[in-house]
């Protein structure tokens, strides 16, 4: 009932499978009003809330597992919003290189890879505490450490929906970014996004407003913000994923990065609409577009990225940037509160 709004207003919700339940109206009321037969577990169990509703962050198998993970989770967070996150001593060198990252990106731009491999390899001790792993899988969020200090990770996942942003992914990332900003946790964005997910279901569901939540959250955040563009960064999705245009502090790109309004095929079909009557000409124009824009150097000359970095140096370059931004202070114009597009 109404008591369910208590966990809903907290920052994070952990549940245990087969013993934890949340619902505004129980199965008996649902059956009486809508004539739907549904069990407690189906209506408001851990699996439902971690995969469909997104109300809960993680569902654990047992109480013991939940408590163990809760202890590890709390180690990442400061005691209050006036403190910095705790720093844990580490033997993992800040300048550690990862040669395997140089071959992470497939040669075929339409092939996927697991962004979690990149995340774990750049973090201290290769440890990543992922949140909401079963909800909106096309974006990955969670905590790790760099030089012993907590960082929040937001990364597109090419293995789900090709890494496109949709309604659920936008809301998931926006809420996480706002929490990091509340508690002085630097944000690291790893970008490989071909755009927002097209379709009537997304548009009718309010993708414009929900996507704006991510834009709003990142633009409003005053903590250190470091972005690395891994591969595709197209159009509006490029803008909202930690771009310079939203006050990203340091923006890097791998040599495989493509920063443009859209992919070469779509761009050619629009720019040369009506002028191309055979496949050979279309292919020539596509290759011309790729040569011009399918690399990070064009946008580099315009100041949209700070440097093109080699993948194996990613950890070291991010850490150097976080060191530089350690005492960052950014004052916002006074107002009672912002009006995020809820």
Buried b / exposed e over 249-263, threshold 16 CB at 10 Å, is: bbbbbbebbbbbebb
Q: Determine the Cα–Cα distance for residues 70 and 153; give it in Å rounded to an integer.
A: 18
Q: Determine the Cα–Cα distance for residues 88 and 147; give it in Å rounded to an integer.
A: 8
Catalytically annotated residue among 46, 56, 66, 237: 237
Q: Determine the Cα–Cα distance for residues 163 and 134; give it in Å rounded to an integer.
A: 15
Catalytically annotated residue among 2, 3, 274, 303: 2
If pLDDT is split at 50, 70 and 90, which confidence band does 134 have? very high
Q: Determine the Cα–Cα distance for residues 238 and 233; give it in Å rounded to an integer.
A: 5
Average pLDDT, the chain: 94
Give pLDDT, residue 268: 83
2-16 pLDDT tens trace: 899 999 899 999 999
Give pLDDT, residue 165: 97
Cβ atoms within 10 Å, residue 187: 23
- Which is more confidently placed, 247 or 264? 247
What residues have CB less than 8 Å from 123, skipping those under 6 apart?
144, 145, 146, 151, 153, 315
Burial (Cβ within 10 Å: 0-12, 13-18, ≥19) of residue 280:
exposed
Q: Determine the Cα–Cα distance for residues 328 and 185; give it in Å rounded to an integer.
A: 12
Residue bearing tokens 């927002």 = 196
Is 148 among the residues known to form the active site?
A: no
Is 46 among the residues known to form the active site?
A: no
Residue 269 has pLDDT above 90, yes or no: no
Residue bearing tokens 């990955």 = 140
Show the tokens assigned to 18: 């087969």
Give pLDDT, residue 294: 77
Q: Determine the Cα–Cα distance for residues 117 and 191; give it in Å rounded to an integer.
A: 14
Residue 39 has pLDDT above 80, yes or no: yes
Q: Determine the Cα–Cα distance for residues 266 and 308; give it in Å rounded to an integer.
A: 26
Residue 57 has pLDDT above 80, yes or no: yes
Is 199 among the residues known to form the active site?
A: no
Residue 289 has pLDDT above 90, yes or no: no
What is the mean predicted confidence (pLDDT) over 96-115? 94
Give pLDDT, residue 2: 85
Q: What is the pTM for the complete model shown?
A: 0.94
Residue 275 has pLDDT above 80, yes or no: no
If pLDDT is split at 50, 70 and 90, which confidence band does 133 have? very high
Catalytically annotated residue among 26, 236, 266, 300: 236
Q: Determine the Cα–Cα distance for residues 291 and 234; give it in Å rounded to an integer.
A: 16
Give pLDDT, residue 276: 66
Is 195 among the residues known to form the active site?
A: no
Residue 185 has pLDDT above 80, yes or no: yes
If pLDDT is split at 50, 70 and 90, which confidence band does 24 have? very high
């Amino acid at each position: 009932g109404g008591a369910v709004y208590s966990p809903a207003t907290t920052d994070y919700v952990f549940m245990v499978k087969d013993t934890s339940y949340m619902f505004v109206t129980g199965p008996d009321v649902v059956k009486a009003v809508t004539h739907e037969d549904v069990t407690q577990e189906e209506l408001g169990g851990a699996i439902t809330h971690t995969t469909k509703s997104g109300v809960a962050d993680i569902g654990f198998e047992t109480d013991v597992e939940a408590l163990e993970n809760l202890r590890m989770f709390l180690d990442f967070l400061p005691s209050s919003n006036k403190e910095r996150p705790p720093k844990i001593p580490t033997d993992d060198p800040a300048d550690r290189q990862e040669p395997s990252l140089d071959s992470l990106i497939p040669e075929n731009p339409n092939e996927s890879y697991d962004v979690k491999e990149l995340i774990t390899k750049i973090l201290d001790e290769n440890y990543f505490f992922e949140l909401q792993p079963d909800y909106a899988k096309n974006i990955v969020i969670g905590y790790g450490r760099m030089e012993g200090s907590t960082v929040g990770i937001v990364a597109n996942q090419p293995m789900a929906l090709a890494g496109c942003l949709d309604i659920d992914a936008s809301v998931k990332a926006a809420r996480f970014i706002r929490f990091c900003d509340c508690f002085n946790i630097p944000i690291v964005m790893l970008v490989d996004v071909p755009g927002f997910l097209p379709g009537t279901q997304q548009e009718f569901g309010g993708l414009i407003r929900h996507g704006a939540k991510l834009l709003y959250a990142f633009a409003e955040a005053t903590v250190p913000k470091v972005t690395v563009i891994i591969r595709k960064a197209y159009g509006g999705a490029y803008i909202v994923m930690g771009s310079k245009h939203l006050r990203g502090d340091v923006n890097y790109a791998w040599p495989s990065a493509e920063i443009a309004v859209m992919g070469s095929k779509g761009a050619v079909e629009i720019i040369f609409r009506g002028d191309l009557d055979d496949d050979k000409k279309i292919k020539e124009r596509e290759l011309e577009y790729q040569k011009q824009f399918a690399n990070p150097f064009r946008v580099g000359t315009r100041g949209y990225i700070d440097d093109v970095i080699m993948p194996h140096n990613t950890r070291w370059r991010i850490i150097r940037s976080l060191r530089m931004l350690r005492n960052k202070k950014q004052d916002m114009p006074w107002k009672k509160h912002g009006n995020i597009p809820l």
